[in-house]
A and B are shown apart, each in its own frame.
Chain A
Amino acid sequence: MILVWLILIPFIGGLLCWQAERWSHQAPRWIALGTMLFVLVISVVVWLTGDFAPASANSSQWLLQWRAPWIPRFGVEIHLAMDGLSLVLVALTGFLGLLAVLCSWQEISDRVGFFHLNLLFILGGVVGVFLALDLFLFFLFWEMMLVPMYFLIALWGHSGSAGQTRIRAATRFFIYTQASGLLMLVSIIALVFVHYSNTGELSFGYDTLRGTDVPEPLAFWLMLGFFIAFAVKLPVVPFHGWLPDAHAQAPTAGSVDLAGILLKTAAYGILRFALPLFPEQSAAFAPVAMFLGLVGIIYGAVLACGQQDIKRLIAYTSVSHMGFVLIALYSGSELAIQGAIVLMVAHAFSTAALFILSGQLYERIHSRDMRVMGGLWGRLPVLPGFTLCFVAASLGMPATANFVGEFMILFGTFPGAPMVVVVASIGLVLAAIYSLLLMQRVHFGSEYRSGLLAGPDRREYGIMLVLLVLTLAVGLYPQPLLDTTAAVAGPVAELFTGSAELAVRAGEVN
């Protein structure tokens, strides 16, 4: 039942927030804060009490499970399950949800209740994505996160210079993800029908569909349907067009959620569904996926260097970082996949921090344009120092979580694909360039305007300090995190080696 509550609480909290606006402006904020804290506390408790040893023959792969029939006619179930990976990501969702509420404390003053309803609905949808095992249910949650995100950008986004841009950005985001979601839906239904024609059983269950024997060209196309849906969300170049716009126009809380969690649903989807459902096809597709990852790393970094809008810059760095994740997911190495999970967490921390920092800057100088910044180190207390720390994290400085993630990915991928790692390493230099460019343009150099700006208040300082401590903690002692997800990463890595063996065996038979 815990799993059901994890999903329901944000939705109930959201409705409460919406109504609570009648009482006072502050009430929705506190309710939202409490809700997210609840989600976080539950997941931490589960983590403390859970046993994450790799599944043995008689113990289940899942830590917690919950099933109930939903539409028995079509074999649709409400099947929720949690393992180490889902737990980490749910906890991350709770934590970043907390930050999202906190960082919009001052920023949002218009329709506060409805804002928090949307925010919590996004988070509820994301938790659902991380827990749903039934493919139909998964798809439901997958689509469910989009709508409130659309409203978040369209209603509370920055109006920008062109006036209409936030609506455009929201629409673009919606179309991209909706269209790609359609591909996934088609793939899911096709997979279900293939299974039905094979066995006569209609089911959307994960375990049931995993072993489905799909005829060859079709299997590849189905895999591609899943891959593209996730690739748009990750995002993989060339499907990244929605990201910079959405980030630039979204309110800070929206950017935090987008970068911190929504992008991770895609990596989660690949790990949980795309790879296990189609192991052989994915193994065959791996070179292409890795190539796309490389393109993302380099292309995202180059574009980040060319931006003038600070939030667009950070958005493009996400494209670059997610390229590393994509490479790792298709490397078939446990070390790299574990690294990808660490990098997902690290990227959530560092990018969320940078977005929150740029939100705080916006509250002070009312601009995101780096051409009107410069010399802020002397004008703004404390925050530039934090920026430097997170910029260092973003460029993969050792002792930060990002370093652990990136280097585990590179160490893990190198034996299988050395050239990929060589090219990806160029990304490390480019990361230094865009990160320090940000620092140089915003905080160093001559002062664009004079006059001291207000330093961070206790809330802002607290957010930054917690994020920094977490980044360093994971960077210096990632083992608890690694132990939690080891049981997930190992089998996924084996999928590739296993399918390679199968292919060899098939060749021998022929």
Chain B
Amino acid sequence: MAMALILSFVFPLAGTLILALSAGRLGVRASSFIGVGSVGLAALATAWAVMTPPGGESVTVITLWNWIAVGDFQPTIGLAVDGLSLVMMSVITGVGFLIHLFAAWYMRGEEGVTRFYAWMNLFVFSMLLLVLGDNLLLLFLGWEGVGLCSYGLIGHYYRSHANGQAAFKAFVVTRIGDVFLALGLFLIFMELGTLDIRTVLELAPQAWAQGSTTANLAALLVLGGALGKSAQVPLHTWLPDAMAGPTPVSALIHAATMVTAGVYLIARLHGLFLLAPDVMLLVGVIGAVSLLLAAFAALAQTDIKRVLAYSTMSQIGYMFLALGVGAFDAAIFHLVTHAFFKALLFLSAGAVIISCHHEQDMRRLGGLWRKLPVAYGGFLVGGAALVALPLATAGFFSKDEILWQAMAADQTGLLLAGLLGAVLTGLYTVRLILSTFHGEPGHGGPTSDHVRDPEAGVNPLTHHLPLVVLAICSTFVGAWLYPGLGGLFPASPGEAADTGHTLLQVLAMGAAFAGLLLAAWLFLWQRRWLDETVRQGFGNSLWRLWHSAWGFDALFDRILVRPWQLTVKYLRVDLINLMMNLPALVARALNAGLVRGQNGRVRSYALVMVFGATAILLTLALVQGGAV
């Protein structure tokens, strides 16, 4: 087991090193081979680790070396593996491998393939460390590492200024969250004297009373970090812009793995959050707000990837909602199924985008279902899972679990938000699929003759296999694959009870179908009325509000970015330093004054001498006189 664990992240690291040190000498094929192969090996190593029955203990701990040791401060480079880590590892390497494989198709003929795979492998490495680290500092290493990789990959097409800005924004906004997490670590270390996760969870209940200020503060700070990485309100604005990266990046980092790191973090530190019930509730509320806000925003996007980005944010909102009601198991369950179906949706979107020559505006797409049957299939299956169509899809099982837990925890508000979100999910999913694959392409869009055949000039396996496997996992098969984390977390609120579960299932199904029917009615029968409505008056205002995702960007621009830019602009000349020039100015002024006296004219010298002598004599006389 130990060997398998170490290999799982050493392979991607080796891949990164080889690719980075090759300095552009490797061709596209070789780079793809190394990039995909290393993650494939990591996936095999993970499979080996999952197969190996743990020896009695539920947690395997491996300490590689002592990182830092000064007094009490003893973080190690050490791994701790339990069920949660294994599930996360499987998602990262399994889904990660499929996405890497698909990228071999997606990135053919692109520039910078070596750089792309170097970053992707480094990402897998960092993400694995994030979920494997046995102490919070090592977790933080992975946490920052995935952020850096995200930055590098969003800015992959570096020539475009907008992409650079998007990458910059993603890094800085998540960094703000990271600072909160860092402060949380400082607080935890000060209070408990350790960063080891299991020790922290053990000591926290002894050291802090339920609901004490310190516990609340620590949980709040950790939550700040989770919000940044998981793109939840108010630190969510970077995620839609992050879609500037290549689509496999969006699938891997901004859908399946990195953005769910916040969910992992809270689940990992659940003991801390259970001590702070108020913060727990806040987690749930933020989740609910994010899920609704993002779902409305997704309704009014025109870019395929932005729809999916807001949908991701919305689904992570569900996970936060689950965490907030104490249903950690349900949150992780939804994390896993979401990784499957959202990766599928993103990859299918990638297939559409490449086949249509990088066209991703839905207004110009349409009628593609005949041309791109595999991608269409992917969208149908993934969309169904996203909408949580009953019984057949993975999304149904996990979302139903979340809603049920919210109900069992007596959080009616959160439950209603979840149900409303389900209706909206149906709406935007149908809109997405209809406008991409049905109807006629809009003005300037690729007509069916221009659509590239995905199988042309490349092994179709790299295109078909990931889509098919992910599609299978998005159905109920994915729900079966999830092993459950029994015993790792404290009992969820709905564990023992069962009253009302059937009612809730009916409600959830009703919500999903309501969304679908409403969508069909709106987009198929009332299309014209809808187009008219959003073009003018209140409908238009609403559209613009949702299109700009409730105006958060403009708000932050006004209250943060612009003041900052002004500060930088006015301080550029280094005001404090100018102050230090004062002595020099004084010296120069004195110099100018005294130089004037040195005019070379005997008359003025004589005059000054007479005055000077008189002044001295007078002074002497006065002083002497005073003395006498």
Beta-carbon contacts of A387-411 to B below 8 Å, as 1s and 0s?
A: 0100010000111000110011011
Smallest beta-carbon distance A419→chain B, Å: 11
Smallest beta-carbon distance B136→chain A, Å: 11
Question: Which residue in chain B gives the minimum CB-CB distance to A396?
Answer: B144
B186 contact set on A, CB distance < 8 A: 410-411, 414, 418, 421
Known A444-B164, A445-B159, A446-B159; contact A486-B179, beta-carbon cutoff 8 A: no
Known A408-B68, A426-B179, A477-B65; contact A306-B569, beta-carbon cutoff 8 A: yes
Q: Which of A53-61, A205-213, A377-385 lies on the face that meets chain B?
A: A377-385
Beta-carbon contacts of A204-243 to B below 8 Å, as 1s and 0s?
A: 0000000000000000000000000000000001111100
B579 contact set on A, CB distance < 8 A: 238
B77 contact set on A, CB distance < 8 A: 476
Smallest beta-carbon distance B348→chain A, Å: 30
B495 is an interface residue with CB less than 8 A from chain A: no
B550 is an interface residue with CB less than 8 A from chain A: no
B171 contact set on A, CB distance < 8 A: 432, 436
B580 contact set on A, CB distance < 8 A: 238-239, 241
Which of B406-439 touch A at CB < 8 Å?
none
Complex CA–CA separation, A437 to B576 (angstroms): 23
Complex CA–CA separation, A377 to B187 (angstroms): 41
A443 is an interface residue with CB less than 8 A from chain B: yes
Task: Tell which of A375, A399, A443, A482 has the most Cβ of chain B within 10 Å.
Answer: A399
Known A241-B577, A244-B574, A444-B158; contact A436-B172, beta-carbon cutoff 8 A: yes
Complex CA–CA separation, A42 to B95 (angstroms): 53
**Beta-carbon contact of B568 and A305 below 8 Å:** yes
Which of B98-143 touch A at CB < 8 Å?
137, 140-141
By secondary structure, the B interface counts as helix
B152 contact set on A, CB distance < 8 A: 388
A433 is an interface residue with CB less than 8 A from chain B: yes
| Other-chain contact of B137, A334, A407, A436, A478 (Cβ < 8 Å) | A407
Question: Which residue in chain B gives the minimum CB-CB distance to A426?
Answer: B179
A421 contact set on B, CB distance < 8 A: 183, 186
**Beta-carbon contact of B172 and A240 below 8 Å:** no
**Beta-carbon contact of A486 and B23 below 8 Å:** no
Smallest beta-carbon distance B29→chain A, Å: 20
Smallest beta-carbon distance B131→chain A, Å: 15
A497 contact set on B, CB distance < 8 A: none
Tally of A interface residues using CB under 8 Å: 58
A238 contact set on B, CB distance < 8 A: 576-577, 579-580
B485 is an interface residue with CB less than 8 A from chain A: no
A121 contact set on B, CB distance < 8 A: none
A422 contact set on B, CB distance < 8 A: 183
A462 is an interface residue with CB less than 8 A from chain B: no
Question: Which residue in chain A gives the minimum CB-CB distance to B579?
Answer: A238
**Beta-carbon contact of B182 and A440 below 8 Å:** no
A479 is an interface residue with CB less than 8 A from chain B: yes
**Beta-carbon contact of A429 and B65 below 8 Å:** no
Question: Which residue in chain A gives the minimum CB-CB distance to B174?
Answer: A432
Beta-carbon contacts of B63-93 to A below 8 Å, as 1s and 0s?
A: 0011111110100010000000000000000
Complex CA–CA separation, A239 to B577 (angstroms): 8
Beta-carbon contacts of B152-167 to A below 8 Å, as 1s and 0s?
A: 1001001111001101
Smallest beta-carbon distance A409→chain B, Å: 11
B601 is an interface residue with CB less than 8 A from chain A: no
Beta-carbon contacts of A354-393 to B below 8 Å, as 1s and 0s?
A: 0000000000000000000001011001100100100010
A107 is an interface residue with CB less than 8 A from chain B: no
Smallest beta-carbon distance B478→chain A, Å: 33
Tally of B interface residues using CB under 8 Å: 53
**Beta-carbon contact of A445 and B161 below 8 Å:** yes
Complex CA–CA separation, A302 to B572 (angstroms): 8
**Beta-carbon contact of B70 and A440 below 8 Å:** no
A338 is an interface residue with CB less than 8 A from chain B: yes
Question: Which residue in chain A gives the minimum CB-CB distance to B178?
Answer: A428
Complex CA–CA separation, A478 to B77 (angstroms): 12
Known A414-B186, A443-B158, A447-B159; contact A303-B574, beta-carbon cutoff 8 A: yes
B569 contact set on A, CB distance < 8 A: 306
**Beta-carbon contact of A425 and B158 below 8 Å:** no
Smallest beta-carbon distance A125→chain B, Å: 25
Which of B276-323 touch A at CB < 8 Å?
none
B164 contact set on A, CB distance < 8 A: 440, 444-445
A299 is an interface residue with CB less than 8 A from chain B: yes
B144 contact set on A, CB distance < 8 A: 397-398, 403
Question: Which residue in chain B gives the minimum CB-CB distance to A339?
Answer: B70
Complex CA–CA separation, A403 to B75 (angstroms): 14
**Beta-carbon contact of B572 and A303 below 8 Å:** yes
A299 contact set on B, CB distance < 8 A: 571, 576
B265 is an interface residue with CB less than 8 A from chain A: no
B544 is an interface residue with CB less than 8 A from chain A: no
Complex CA–CA separation, A392 to B66 (angstroms): 23
A335 is an interface residue with CB less than 8 A from chain B: yes
A50 is an interface residue with CB less than 8 A from chain B: no
B574 contact set on A, CB distance < 8 A: 241, 244, 303
B24 is an interface residue with CB less than 8 A from chain A: yes
Complex CA–CA separation, A377 to B567 (angstroms): 30
| Other-chain contact of B70, A239, A429, A482 (Cβ < 8 Å) | A482
Question: Which residue in chain B gives the minimum CB-CB distance to A482?
Answer: B70
Complex CA–CA separation, A414 to B144 (angstroms): 21
A159 is an interface residue with CB less than 8 A from chain B: no
B94 is an interface residue with CB less than 8 A from chain A: no
Complex CA–CA separation, A338 to B175 (angstroms): 25
Complex CA–CA separation, A447 to B161 (angstroms): 11
Beta-carbon contacts of A446-479 to B below 8 Å, as 1s and 0s?
A: 1100000000000000000000000000001111
Complex CA–CA separation, A432 to B169 (angstroms): 10
Question: Which residue in chain A gives the minimum CB-CB distance to B152?
Answer: A388
Question: Which residue in chain A gives the minimum CB-CB distance to B66?
Answer: A479
B168 is an interface residue with CB less than 8 A from chain A: yes
B176 is an interface residue with CB less than 8 A from chain A: yes
**Beta-carbon contact of A408 and B568 below 8 Å:** no
Which of A286-338 touch B at CB < 8 Å?
299, 302-303, 305-307, 334-335, 338
| Other-chain contact of A410, B159, B176, B182 (Cβ < 8 Å) | B182
Which of B455-497 touch A at CB < 8 Å?
none
**Beta-carbon contact of B155 and A381 below 8 Å:** no
B151 is an interface residue with CB less than 8 A from chain A: yes
Question: Which residue in chain B gives the minimum CB-CB distance to A410?
Answer: B186
Question: Which residue in chain B gives the minimum CB-CB distance to A493?
Answer: B71
A415 is an interface residue with CB less than 8 A from chain B: yes
Complex CA–CA separation, A329 to B197 (angstroms): 30
Question: Which residue in chain A gives the minimum CB-CB distance to B65?
Answer: A477
**Beta-carbon contact of A428 and B68 below 8 Å:** no
Complex CA–CA separation, A407 to B73 (angstroms): 11
Complex CA–CA separation, A237 to B66 (angstroms): 37
Smallest beta-carbon distance B255→chain A, Å: 24
A240 contact set on B, CB distance < 8 A: 576-577
Show 26 A/B contacts (Cβ-Cβ < 8 Å), sorted by A.
A239-B580, A240-B576, A241-B576, A303-B574, A378-B159, A397-B144, A398-B140, A407-B182, A408-B73, A412-B73, A414-B187, A418-B186, A422-B183, A425-B179, A428-B175, A428-B182, A429-B172, A436-B151, A436-B167, A443-B158, A444-B155, A445-B159, A446-B160, A478-B68, A479-B68, A482-B68
Binding site for A on B (CB under 8 A): 20, 23-24, 65-71, 73, 77, 137, 140-141, 144-145, 148, 151-152, 155, 158-161, 164-165, 167-168, 171-172, 175-176, 178-179, 182-183, 185-187, 189-190, 567-569, 571-572, 574, 576-577, 579-581
Besides the contacts A411-B185, A415-B190, what 16 more A-B pairs have beta carbons closer than 8 Å?
A238-B576, A238-B580, A397-B144, A407-B182, A408-B70, A411-B186, A412-B73, A414-B190, A425-B182, A436-B171, A445-B158, A445-B159, A446-B161, A478-B68, A479-B66, A479-B67
Of all A-B residue pairs in the complex, the 4 with the closest CB atoms, nearest first, are A306-B572, A398-B141, A241-B577, A414-B186
